Amino acid sequence: MREVAVIGVGMNEKWGELWEKSFRDLFTEAALNAIDDAGVDKIDSMYIGCMSGGLFVGQEHIGSIMADYLGYGNIPAARVESACASGGLAFRQAFIDVASGMNDIVLAGGVEKMLDVDGGAATYALSTAADQEYECFHGITFPGLYAMIAKAHMHKYGTTREQLAHVSVKNHKNGAKNKRAQFPFETTLDGVINSVMVADPLTIMDCSPVTDGAAAVILCPLDLAKKKFKKHQIIQVIGTGQATDTIALHDRKDLTWLTAVELAGKKAFEMAGKKPTDINLCEVHDCFSIAEICVTEALGFFEPGKGGPAVESGATAIGGKIPINTSGGLKSKGHPVGATGIAQIIEITEQLRGDSGERQVKGAKVGMAQNMGGSGGSSVCHILEVK
C-alpha cells in the first residue's frame, strides 16, 4: 500500500442558506477551491459523499453531473453514501484509490443542498437514515433518537442537562471564530437549555442545523507530494477505519455506547500506530450535543460516562486536554450532511498546517476526524499527521 497525503482543501466561502447557489455549483465551487489550493492540473478520479441528492433536490447520478460541471467529464467519478458519514466514506474511498496504486490525483468531496425543500421534507429525507419500518413508522425523528440516547446516558451515568448544553456552548464559541460557519455566534447555557424543546431533553440548540454546503480535498501519493506539491506543509493520512452497527437503535445492547465509532476508531488508531493520548485535536460528529459526549467516550478520550464531566471541565475546549470540534462542529459550522465528513478533514488539515488563526491548537501534529451515520449505524475515522 502506498503512503497518502492531503495536498489541497476547499470549501464554499460560507455555509448556510445559500439560495443563490445550485447543487452543482456548490460542489464545483468547493472542488475548484481544493484544486487551486493543491495546485494540481488534473484529477484522475473522484468520490463524492452525498446522502440524499434524490430527496433534497431530485438529482441522482451525482458522479457524472459533478465531473461534467467540474470540467472533467470523462474521469471515473462515484457518489458514495453512508447517511451523514457519506463525506468521511468518500475520503476513505479516495484514500484506498491512491493507496492501492490505481490512481494518483484523487478528489474526495461532499455536498448537500438541504434548503431547497421545506422543513418537513428535510426531516423526512434525514429520517431515511433510520429504520423506516420499525423506527420511523412510529413517529420518531432524528432528534428523538438522540434524545433517547441522552435519556439513557443520563439515567446510566448521571449526565446532566447542563453538561449537554456545554457541548453546544463550546462549539459555538469555536464556531464564532470560523468565518465559514453558518451560525458564527456564541451562546450560553441558558440560551441552550431554554430554547425551543424538540424532543425531551434536547432543545433546538442541542441540534445541528440544516445547511447548504460542499467541501473537497485532493489526495495523492506521499512521494509525489514531496516531489511536486510542496506549496503547503505536507499532511499524511496515517490511519483510516470504518465500521457499521445495527441501523435500529433498539437493537443495540447498550443504548449509550456507539460500537461503530469504537471499532472505526480502533482500526484507525491501530493503522496509525497511535493511541487516544497521542491525538492533539479531534473533529467529532456532534449532530446532537449528546452525540459528542458519546463519541468522545467511544473513541477512548474519556472513560464511559465521563464525557459529560469532561466537556463541563473544559477538557475539550481549545487549550484543554483534547480540543474537540475546533471548527465549531456540526452545531455552529453547519451540517450539509454529505459534506460534513470532508469539512472535518479540512479543519484537521488546516490545523496541522498551522493555518487556523484564532482557533489554532498550538503545536498540533496529529489530528483525528470522526464522521457518523444515522444514530450510530455507521462511522468512519481518519488520523492525519504532519509529515
Partner 1 sequence: MGTTGRNWREYPQRYRMEAAKCKKCGKINFPPRLICPECGHREFETVKLSDEGIIKTYTVIRVAPTGFEDEVPYAVGIVELKDGVSTMMQIADCEPEELKIGMPVKVEFRLVQAEGDAGILMYGYKAVPVRN
Residues that are catalytic: 84, 335
Q: Is residue 45 classed as helix, strand or coil in its secondary structure?
A: strand
Residue count, binding to partner 1 (CB under 8 A): 35
Q: Name the residue nearer to partner 1 (CB basis): 40 or 255.
A: 255
Binds partner 1 by CB under 8 A, chosen from 64, 100, 132, 188 = 132
Q: Which stretch binds partner 1 (CB under 8 A): 56-64, 102-110, 121-129, 157-165?
A: 121-129
* 249 lies in the site for partner 1, by CB under 8 A: yes
Residues 158-197 that bind partner 1 (CB under 8 A): 196-197
What's the grid cell of residue 256?
A: 449509550
Residue 102 is placed in which grid cell? Answer: 490505481
* Residue whose C-alpha cell reads 463541563 in the numeric block: 312
Closest approach, Cβ 254 to partner 1, in A, equals 11
Residue with cell 491548537: 361
Least distance between partner 1 and beta carbon 96 (Å)? 27
Strand extents, DSSP E, 18-165: 45-49, 77-80, 106-113
Give 127's DSSP letter.
H
Considering only residues 78 to 117 of the shown chain, the ones binding partner 1 according to CB under 8 A are none
Q: Identify which of residues 254 and 358 has a Cβ nearer to partner 1 in the complex.
A: 254
Q: Which three cell numbers stand for residue 61?
A: 447520478
Picking from 312, 274, 279, 275, the residue whose alpha carbon sits closest to that of residue 293 is: 312
What is the Cα–Cα distance from 111 to 11, expressed in whole angstroms?
Answer: 10
State the nearest-atom distance from the C-beta of 80 to partner 1, in Å.
Answer: 24
The nearest distance, CB 147 to partner 1, in angstroms, is 4
Strand partners, 380: 242, 371
**Minimum distance of partner 1 from residue 253's CB (angstroms):** 9
CB of 19 or CB of 137, closer to partner 1: 137
How far is Cα 257 from Cα 382, in angstroms, rounded to an integer? 20
Q: With beta carbons less than 8 A apart as the criterion, state whether 292 and 169 touch.
A: no
Region for 101 from its dihedrals, namely left if φ exceeds 0, alpha if ψ lies in -120 to 50, beta otherwise: left
Any contact of residue 69 with partner 1 (CB under 8 A)? no
Q: Which stretch binds partner 1 (CB under 8 A): 60-68, 105-113, 133-141, 346-354?
A: 133-141
**Closer residue to partner 1 (CB): 63 or 374:** 374
**H-only helix segments in 194-306:** 222-228, 259-272, 289-298
In the chain, DSSP assigns E strands to 4-11, 45-49, 77-80, 106-113, 197-199, 202-203, 212-221, 235-244, 281-283, 366-373, 378-386
**Does 291 engage in binding with partner 1 (CB under 8 A)?**
no
* Of residues 48 and 199, the one with the C-beta less far from partner 1: 199
Instruction: By CB under 8 A, tell whether 248 contacts partner 1.
Output: yes
What's the closest the beta carbon of residue 194 comes to partner 1, in angstroms?
14
Closer residue to partner 1, CB minimum distance, 199 or 311:
199
Is position 136 an interface residue for partner 1 (rule: CB under 8 A)? Answer: yes
Binding residues (CB under 8 A) for partner 1: these are 120-121, 123-124, 127, 132-141, 143-144, 147-149, 151-152, 155, 196-202, 248-251, 255
